[in-house]
A and B are shown apart, each in its own frame.
Chain A
């Protein structure tokens, strides 16, 4: 049943940028293995040369004129910033 290893779960968690305890890794490994077992039924479908569908409507890129428009006020936009410094957002050091 455990078709995913704990190391794979830890690697995925890193890709997802979600910190995970060893206990959480164990639970995730079991639940994801179970879900993936249920997804395996798709291998019974012969898809041969079938085109993939990304969207249910046939979409093309939607373009508009490049024109200046009013946008949200700076104050209203920055009101949700967790750590603000004037009109800037403060973040932790990117380079150590």
Chain B
């Protein structure tokens, strides 16, 4: 932890100080707001900072704590990625299209955190509509990696990952459609979890690709990740894809050993072009799991190399349908100078959407159009079935599958913006989990020679989060990462 500020605490450390009244939520919140004020000029992890709301929520939290009525997240300052609806607080998706949009309702995740008297300090920057891998597609400004301000934080949840790494808040929520929680967590040296599809409600999450999108925690350590998932997981009648399950208490999976667990290492996840330092760190992490008592075995997931193509048909197709709603009529950006309705619609969307969003809407429309539907969309859905079954078969033999999270460490700003395909390759190790609907977590595993974080990914079968937490926590406790933080 960063001892120079109480915002450097983990959630579980802050909890004991708050409950013993050694620090108040208002003090902790003011420390977070001070740190945001001090660092934001350089890091730029926030689209909106909410000081007045945060102080009033902190005072309410202090009253609850004084009454002996605190929950695990009561009074703890957090951020939400700016694609989650917050009533009365602008929710922009880092898009001109939603600049100034103030939702009339809260997302279910927002509501669940507020029910614990959590404190919202602001909204995190992202690639516009969560489409991207570097946060450079934000229509407002790029976020910088706290470990090296000339480098990207990853994306699309780059604001959340950078804010947590820089200790501008104690935790954040990201969303992950193809790796958008895990890849930035890896690049920023924090923990990021994409839960099983359907475990966390998507109500109030601005839709990108509905069959792939999932909200999850970005935290400083694995124990915090379990606490935050406890708060947000569970059935929601407002989301028709929400699973009817009663989630367990995930903190009960912490502090266990790995004896008897079988872990698979798919050879296909050591991809061409992988940074040798990332490969070395990943192999060392696998050896550590073995020393901790797990049975490790190489395996093969032969259709892995097709996941990227499947993703770049399915995600744009779903996005082209979801983003049809931005018409400049009911809310959001609107070109009022046009002569006719059609003209207004085309001009609104031309000015409101950035280049990557337009590219994906166009690509999706192409894949879904007459004459191409079978060759692209249907074919991708069939390969999706094959990839999903391949994982199911693997999980009959293994309790978990492990790999690097990202083939490289954080790249420089501008390095990949000219070539969309190069940018897409950043997610090659994370997007198979979205296609299959299974959970995945990224845990820091070390630093490169240049001082850049490397992340280790653990995948399990659907609803295997307990096993995932067991492995992630044992790994974290035994690794020599020790909660390192960037010098800022």
Q: Does B249 contact A (CB under 8 A)?
A: no
How far apart sit A57 and B309, CA to CA, in the bound complex (Å)? 21
Checking B303, B365, B436 against A56 with a beta-carbon cut-off of 8 angstroms, the contacting residue is B436
Residue of B nearest to A4 (CB): B366
Q: Who on chain A is nearest to B303 by CB?
A: A45
Asked if B211 and A82 make an inter-chain contact with CB atoms under 8 angstroms apart, the answer reads no
From A32, A45, A54, A80, B330 is in contact (CB under 8 Å) with A80
Q: Which stretch of B15-23, B183-191, B266-274, B376-384 is in the interface? A: B376-384
Contact A80 B385 (CB under 8 A): no
Tell me if A68 is interfacial: C-beta within 8 Å of chain B: no
* Residue pair A81, B331 in contact (C-beta under 8 Å): yes
Q: List CB contacts (< 8 Å) of B188-244 with chain A.
A: 197-198, 211, 237, 240-241, 243
Most chain-B CB neighbours within 10 Å: which of A42, A77, A83?
A42
A39 to B350, CA, bound (A): 26
Total A-B pairs, Cβ < 8 A: 159
Cα distance, A79 to B305, chains bound together (Å): 47
Q: Do the beta carbons of A92 and B421 come within 8 Å of each other? A: no
* A18-58 contacts to B (CB < 8 Å): 18-20, 28, 31-32, 34-36, 38-43, 45, 47, 50-57
B interface residues, tally (CB under 8 Å): 68
- CB pair B382 A52 closer than 8 Å: yes
Pick from A17, A41, A55: contact of B342, CB under 8 Å:
A17
Assuming A38-B312, A76-B104, A77-B104, is B435 touching A16 (CB within 8 A)? no
Q: Mark B433-444, 1 if CB is under 8 A from A, else 0.
A: 001111000000
Complex Cα spacing A16 to B350, Å: 10
A19 touching B330, Cβ below 8 Å: no
Q: A82 contacts which chain B residues (CB < 8 A)?
A: 328-329, 331-334, 336
**What 15 additional pairs, Cβ within 8 angstroms, besides A12-B366, A55-B197, A82-B331?**
A28-B359, A35-B421, A39-B376, A41-B309, A42-B380, A55-B241, A56-B436, A56-B437, A56-B438, A57-B462, A80-B104, A82-B336, A83-B334, A91-B329, A92-B343
Binding site for A on B (CB under 8 A): 101-102, 104-105, 197-198, 211, 237, 240-241, 243, 303, 305-306, 308-310, 312-313, 320, 327-334, 336, 338-347, 349-350, 353, 358-359, 361-363, 365-366, 369, 376, 378-386, 388, 420-421, 435-438, 462
Q: Which residues of A contact B (CB under 8 A)?
A: 4, 9, 12-13, 15-20, 28, 31-32, 34-36, 38-43, 45, 47, 50-57, 59, 61-62, 64, 72-73, 76-77, 79-83, 89, 91-94, 96
**Complex A-B, nearest 8 residue pairs according to Cβ-Cβ distance, in ascending order:** A56-B437, A52-B381, A82-B334, A80-B331, A47-B382, A19-B350, A19-B346, A62-B240
